[in-house]
Structure 1
């Protein structure tokens, strides 16, 4: 249960990975929630396994449960409602499963019709109205228009408390706007005081109608202050959806924008359709007549300078006022530069002194030019902005896409994209499409680790899609579209949904291990036991999200879809856990333990013929069951763990190579050691001895050689364990097949014994046949008992090798000669081990030679005399030379002799290994001949013997004794084959895992 709790908490943490991967607006909104939840879970995990058990032992005392308490009465009532439901479900498994799948398809269908939006629009409480005036409108005209709009709003709508207008750009242009652009901010009263409308969308429609009635032919866009800024930051447009048309020609862009506006104006939910003003800027165009200019001896540069001087001005000097200096600019008087006629009548001097008006040299007319040129990634574009009201964003964009794709014909090189909130929605969806599958895969991996079974992991994993059913249904019932907020709710729901499944499946497994065989009884017991924790887990989570679901305050629009999804999903997830999940457990359990049944009327001899006719094949050469058992043995075996500790010890011992003798610290006061003033000298000193530096390196090589030797020995130890596990496993398989064969013989001879007794009573046979049949029956029964005891003993040996707490059971019913051998792998292990010992002896021999080198001694001392004003110090360096070297000579000789002796022993071991391998290969050929005989002749002979003996016995051509003898001959062939296969496999394992004693 502890493992399940840990895995359950880890699953909850994993589901927040997609939320933490979000960025932008959605990341800022939901990351804090995910991080808070994750940190809280980590803290809860630590407390649950540390503080809570201690607190429980202190405060929770055993006491008799009161059956009349409110909680028990409530659970009993719920059980009385639940038991008929689960009982009916157990009797109608297919209906339950089909119903669950049907609900899933229903949810998919509803989800496809729901539409979507990026984040539910927050009600900021105020409006921003953006009147779109003609390009080039003067500041005075803009002020006049916005003032008129303010009066219309204030005089007709009592819901409005204040109206403020902002025109153009501020001194610091963080939000640049031209003079014809303005923002009219409308501050509203609380909704409880509204009288003109019941919703903001309705109020916006009425304000728009009132303005259009008084000021016709003016485009108006409604939005909210913060929403407007976000939209502009996202795509450069203040609208919810920005249809961007890219191309080269500004005229073509403007034309296609007008076509799109006309095409989508009737789309439901699309309001405030505004085209970006890229044309219509009034300008005066001067088109020079070059022939006339040349005739008068003028040039265009002079004319341009004259026009610039008259209207823009030109600096011709400086004016000084004290230390201040000002430019002197010459230009026409204001009265002579306010109209196009002033430009036409501007006189130009010719080289001969004449003056002619400019309209004689150029055509001067009013024209319209580009108001602005907008670009994205260096590409020219124009934006058609749409605000979405009374409908979800995704549906509106989908409808507009269909219309634009079918009705708008774009020239080559022109394209359309969609931005704004829709762009954020697509970006967040793309990110979640990567992060969510990764999180779901990690959840499945953790479930597999928790149960150790893909089947059980899939059962609990089914909670995820069926929990989503409730989330989709509740969104549909509350008329809420899918949004990133709802998506975050689905992510959080997936983690919570699997927790109850883990609790229930774990309890089912506990009941199964305790000995409950009847699957229906097990499910009824398990579900009623776990009804309380499952309901409490779901109810606690649902109640935690309930305030968010019914909230109507600030920010409720974002919280509502998230909470709705979680609450609805928990309802269907609980139904799944308590009804569908037990049904899945029953279905999978029956499939796992269902055994083939032979018809009762089939003759026993034909069963035996079928048994003998099989070659017990179809075994995979890489037995998954054996691999699993071997992995458990390598993980749990105490001897293997001890070997690993020996390696750790040898590895730690390497670091001791550079250990030095203890440092001597002394203090000396000697009356015989007098200074110049006859005062004794007090001396403080430090002394340290060292071996010769190369000795430490040699010592480290010895320890490293011991480490390599220990590692090689450890690999041989694991190799030996693999051999023992494999041999015992194949011996158990061999005994199982013998047992299978003799069980059929037991059934056969038992029938013969009963038939002989009956025939003897009727006088149809003699006493000899009767006692012979009974004796054969008893003989087979004794053999079966012996095989059972042998199998039990071998299983105990295997259990001792694996050393696992779980009881090992061999489920395989296949036997086949092992044909795959890991060539030279074990031989190579032995070679590595022998070479490591050689290296160890050589290193030790070199170390003994290093002991001939002298040791070093270093001493530093400092003295003090109370009568002198200075300290006295000194040092000495000494060398310890091994003059008496007889011992070192003997040690070096011993090390050399050990190395030589080991070389001889190593050669002996190599010869021994080669002899062992050749011997096993020879044995392998013998057993292989017996197997080939069976496959080529023995199998056919045994089948033919059974077939002919059965026909002859039925027709009375042979008596009972001859029939029994034929059966024994056929059985002996099969038993010999099983013995040969077993001996072959054991020998093959000896070759695969060489273990020379």
Structure 2
């Protein structure tokens, strides 16, 4: 009777070694972040938007096109002339201020894009780490339950186990096999997402660190971060690129109001035309005038539109503050929640799962527990370890979101 459990335990121990990993490109998180920042089209788009605003600033001194005229002041013949309208210097100064505000807004939007790309790269890398860890975990479980199924068939043939135990083992083994297949597909999808984000769509990428090994360091880093966070949301979000872009959008809209008001002032008109008879000593003379903004309703409508645009930008800033504060509080709550969970699994859950595996094998070898109790114990231990992996992933996701919201 004792020889079959010993044989079964030997198969379990032998199945602990998983298959070797195929050839792939190993990449670290820092390298993934650097490649994403270098190759992502979102940042290239942001650079071109800055270049556009800088070009517009160079053209901020933009007087109206000159009018080339033909006139007959004496009624004898047609003579050419030119008339130029020039705004007061205040108008061009305001246009330059608007252009400069546009450049700053484009730069703020570039920082938003940079933070978004970094967040996407970190989350994609984390998802690949999690998928790889799941494949490793399920590969071990699959090998173990395959060995259990083979041993159960032998025990059933020898009359050592019942038909119910045989069916239960087969069901468990097949379920783990399906889970392993799903995890393998998830890993391929995660590899694809990260490769696309890094501009290497055909690369087969592998992370440099096992997600399970990052648990202790993650717990320390999270605890240090939580202890250093300011109490007020306004202080925590002061470096948020999204908030900075919304603030600059308000400044740009206010510059637009100043520009509309400057354009309501009169403009100078300078001309050079033939204003004399053909036999006059000086036929071409300068003329000066003033362009008066008499169409007051046009300027009033433009001012109303600029004011409404500024108010809308102000409300958008308030919305951004509210949304960022809500997201920050949620990320902070998630970080604290998963910090507590991770501490439990580090100190209690994972050691208990290892103890369950070791003691269940020892008690089964000694004949003190049944075959079904062994399977139940192993499933309980694996469930704890899988939840531990999920907790690490969720904790790191919360930290990534917290870092993104704080502009780091």
Counterpart among 653, 659, 673 of residue 74 in structure 2: 673
Secondary structure, counterpart of 1:673 in structure 2 = coil
Distance 1:840 1:965, change over 3 A: same
Matched, 1:906 2:302: no
The within-5 A match list for 1:537-548 is none
Matched, 1:726 2:122: yes
Alignment partner, residue 853 of structure 1: 265
Distance 1:841 1:650, change over 3 A: same
Distance 1:607 1:763, change over 3 A: closer
Alignment partner, residue 197 of structure 2: 801
Alignment partner, residue 240 of structure 2: 828
Matched, 1:887 2:298: yes
Alignment partner, residue 547 of structure 1: none
The within-5 A match list for 1:58-457 is none
Secondary structure, counterpart of 2:405 in structure 1 = coil
| Inter-partner Cα distance in structure 1 for 2:334 and 2:14 | 34
Alignment partner, residue 519 of structure 1: none
Offset, 1:825:
7.6
Secondary structure, counterpart of 1:857 in structure 2 = strand
Offset, 1:829:
1.4
Unmatched 5+ stretches in structure 1? 1-600, 612-622, 675-679
Q: Which structure carries more relative contact order (alpha carbon 8 Å, separation 6+)?
A: 2
Offset, 1:832:
1.8
> What do residues 683-741 of structure 1 show as CA deviations (whole Å, max 9, x unaligned)?
33221111222111111111211221121112111211211121121011011111111
| Inter-partner Cα distance in structure 1 for 2:13 and 2:104 | 61
Distance 1:739 1:634, change over 3 A: same
Matched, 1:917 2:333: no
Question: How many pairs align?
Answer: 377
> What do residues 512-535 of structure 1 show as CA deviations (whole Å, max 9, x unaligned)?
xxxxxxxxxxxxxxxxxxxxxxxx
Distance 1:754 1:877, change over 3 A: same
Distance 1:772 1:869, change over 3 A: closer
Alignment partner, residue 113 of structure 2: 717
Alignment partner, residue 696 of structure 1: 92
Alignment partner, residue 132 of structure 1: none
Alignment partner, residue 31 of structure 2: 628
Alignment partner, residue 484 of structure 1: none
Offset, 1:682:
5.4
> What do residues 781-828 of structure 1 show as CA deviations (whole Å, max 9, x unaligned)?
100000011111222222332222551402324222442669758843
| Inter-partner Cα distance in structure 1 for 2:238 and 2:399 | 13
Alignment partner, residue 21 of structure 2: none
| Inter-partner Cα distance in structure 2 for 1:881 and 1:661 | 15
Alignment partner, residue 640 of structure 1: 43
Secondary structure, counterpart of 1:803 in structure 2 = coil
| Inter-partner Cα distance in structure 1 for 2:208 and 2:108 | 34
Alignment partner, residue 751 of structure 1: 147
Query: Which structure dedicates a bigger proportion of its chain to helix?
Result: 2
Offset, 1:896:
2.0
Alignment partner, residue 951 of structure 1: 362
Any conservation in 1 of the 2:237–2:406 contact (CA below 8 Å)? no
Alignment partner, residue 663 of structure 1: 66
| Inter-partner Cα distance in structure 2 for 1:606 and 1:750 | 12
> What do residues 490-511 of structure 1 show as CA deviations (whole Å, max 9, x unaligned)?
xxxxxxxxxxxxxxxxxxxxxx
> What do residues 171-191 of structure 1 show as CA deviations (whole Å, max 9, x unaligned)?
xxxxxxxxxxxxxxxxxxxxx
Alignment partner, residue 351 of structure 2: 940
Offset, 1:838:
1.3
- TM-score, L = length of structure 2: 0.84
Alignment partner, residue 249 of structure 2: 837
> What do residues 854-891 of structure 1 show as CA deviations (whole Å, max 9, x unaligned)?
1211001246866x384422111110112331221232
| Inter-partner Cα distance in structure 2 for 1:834 and 1:771 | 62
Any conservation in 1 of the 2:195–2:205 contact (CA below 8 Å)? no
Secondary structure, counterpart of 1:993 in structure 2 = helix
Any conservation in 1 of the 2:192–2:201 contact (CA below 8 Å)? no
> What do residues 308-364 of structure 1 show as CA deviations (whole Å, max 9, x unaligned)?
xxxxxxxxxxxxxxxxxxxxxxxxxxxxxxxxxxxxxxxxxxxxxxxxxxxxxxxxx
Alignment partner, residue 962 of structure 1: 373
| Inter-partner Cα distance in structure 1 for 2:238 and 2:191 | 26
Alignment partner, residue 232 of structure 2: none
Matched, 1:654 2:66: no
**Root mean square deviation, CA, Å:** 2.8
Any conservation in 2 of the 1:609–1:943 contact (CA below 8 Å)? no
Counterpart among 64, 72, 79 of residue 683 in structure 1: 79
Matched, 1:971 2:367: no
Any conservation in 1 of the 2:350–2:388 contact (CA below 8 Å)? no
Any conservation in 1 of the 2:94–2:258 contact (CA below 8 Å)? yes
Distance 1:753 1:654, change over 3 A: same
Offset, 1:607:
7.6
Matched, 1:930 2:341: yes
Any conservation in 1 of the 2:195–2:202 contact (CA below 8 Å)? no
